[in-house]
Amino acid sequence: DGGITQSPKYLFRKEGQNVTLSCEQNLNHDAMYWYRQDPGQGLRLIYYSQIVNDFQKGDIAEGYSVSREKKESFPLTVTSAQKNPTAFYLCASSMGTAPGELFFGEGSRLTVL
CB 77 within 8 A of CB 55: no
Q: Are β-strands 19-25 and 44-51 bridged in parallel, bridged antiparallel, or unpaired? A: unpaired
Nearest distance from residue 88's CB to other proteins, in Å? 8
Distance, in Å, from the CA atom of 88 to the CA atom of 43, rounded to the nearest integer, reads 10
Nearest distance from residue 94's CB to other proteins, in Å? 9
Nearest distance from residue 57's CB to other proteins, in Å? 11
Please give the residue ranges that form the binding site for other proteins (CB under 8 A).
Answer: 4, 6, 33, 35, 40-45, 48, 50, 56, 58, 90, 92, 97-107, 109
